[in-house]
Amino acid sequence: MKRILVLGSGLSTSSLIDYLLSHAEKEDWTVMVGDIDIATAKQKIDGHPRGNAISFDIFNETDKNRYIKDADIVISMLPARFHPMVADACLENGRNMLTASYVSPEIRRLDYLTRQKGLLFFNELGVDPGIDHMSAMRVIDSIRAKGGKLTGFRSYTGGLIAPESDNNPWNYKFTWNPRNVVLAGQGTSMYIRDGKYKYIPYHQLYRSAEKTTVLDLGEFEVYPNRDSLKYREVYNLPDIKTMIRGTMRRPGYCEAWNAFVQLGMTDDSYTMDYAGNQSWLEFTESFLPAGTTGSVKERLGAYLNIPADGVIMDKLAWLGMFDTKAVGLHDATPAQILQHKLEQKWGLGPNDKDMLVMQHLFDYQLNGKKYQHKSSLVVIGKDQHQTAMAITVGTPLAIATRLVLTGAIRAVGVQVPTSPEFYMPILTELEQYGIKFIEEEVEN
């Protein structure tokens, strides 16, 4: 009997754990789910005879090493900052480790040691990163195989609300970690377009949104992620003229979110000691220059150069940024206070469904002609348990776990799924779960 240890039982683990348990009898597995909150782990196991919930504290060295040593394979769904601690224990106890997270420098440095021990540390097996890599490399490799030369690659992903549940003026609700949404884009975004390098600072990021359309879902807007340039190496495209990876939102979101950025409400670097006793109107006013006259809306409009009675102001008002109710959150950063407000307004309702949208655009030349290949993916969540985010994060990770346990994947070292031996079987099985790209190609 093989023993699988899943560390963490957050929102994105539902489909992962369901898949593992559904295959457990046939494959002769037991699935142990560990979480600091054992009640959450028990909920994910849901009484399955092949499942077992445990209380797991990453800082308890004795228990950590005991549970990892007793497992045949370890899946870390803990916050990314804890992956190196899990990796060190897996290295010490000779266990393979899989994650949905980016390869950190700390994990990358373990490549030599994992190879020496014959271990696999398999990363970036979620949706973004994960499905984005696999689906992109499948098309890139197919273009190369027929002699084509890639000249441009743009890739966008969005965790959004499904059309049938889209009922607020922001056309957005939280479908993943709210803190990550509030802090998204901080730093400098870097990409290359038509051979020219672009560096977009955070305070300009949401002014640089562009439009795209996806299948029959209509229009979206996209803005660049932090560092697209490094993906030239990841995809082995060192000479490509355009390389942009970005985030997808519905039209109007970026322009309105930019108001928070310009005001400084997404700042997470200092604490507002007295904001908890303020009203939301006073909280908003506290970011405006002193000495100006007029209502808060009028002063805000003048400061941001937007109409005091326009669409952006309406979105801010809908959130309650001008309410006279108390903020009620003490000793918190501006970003934490903003998140507190957004969680009250952007939470998923009991019958809401989320949506994952991904699109790749490949420009290439072949036999003297120019082509564009478009790959589009849309996944709608089923319910509050099987959300689109949980399905697309957890399912590829679960499939990869099965392939490693059954010996279909025998790689060692620190890996990401950019090789055909990885992405072909995972993408093929994903189609059984409705995760299938629509491929379109036109001659330019």
pLDDT for residue 384 = 84
Q: Parallel, antiparallel, or unpaired: how do β-strands 96-99 and 210-213 relate?
A: unpaired
What are the 10-residue block averages of pLDDT along the chain, 444 residues in total? 95 94 97 96 95 96 95 96 97 97 96 97 96 98 97 97 97 92 94 97 94 95 95 95 97 97 97 92 95 90 94 97 95 96 94 97 96 97 91 98 97 97 98 96 85
Q: Which residues pair with 242 in a beta bridge?
A: 152
> CA of 405: how far to CAs of 18, 58, 96, 114, 429, in Å?
17, 24, 10, 17, 16
Residue written as token pair 């937007």: 306
Question: How many angstroms separate the CA atoms of 303 and 308, rounded?
Answer: 10
Question: How many angstroms separate the CA atoms of 211 and 79, rounded?
Answer: 32
Q: Which residues pair with 245 in a beta bridge?
A: 155
**Which tokens is 365 given?**
């030349």
> CA of 434: how far to CAs of 377, 381, 430, in Å?
10, 11, 7
pLDDT for residue 405 = 97
pLDDT for residue 136 = 98
Tell me the pTM. Answer: 0.93
Instruction: Tell me the backbone φ, ψ of residue 407, rounded to 5 degrees.
Output: 85, 5
User: Angle at Cα 15 formed by Cα 91 and Cα 98, nearest 5°?
Assistant: 15
Provide the 8-state DSSP code for 2: E
Q: Which residues pair with 201 in a beta bridge?
A: 188
> What fold is seen in the domain 2-123?
Rossmann fold (3.40.50)
Helix 14-27 to helix 38-45 angle (10° resolution) is 60
Question: How many angstroms separate the CA atoms of 218 and 304, rounded?
Answer: 29
- E-strand spans in 25-92? 29-35, 51-55, 73-76
- Tell me how far apart the terminal alpha carbons of the chain are, to the nearest angstrom: 55
Which residues have C-beta within 8 Å of that of residue 296, sequence separation ≥ 6?
Answer: 281, 284, 285, 288, 322
**Which tokens is 328 given?**
């009620």
pLDDT for residue 442 = 85
Instruction: Tell me the backbone φ, ψ of residue 134, rounded to 5 degrees.
Output: -65, -45
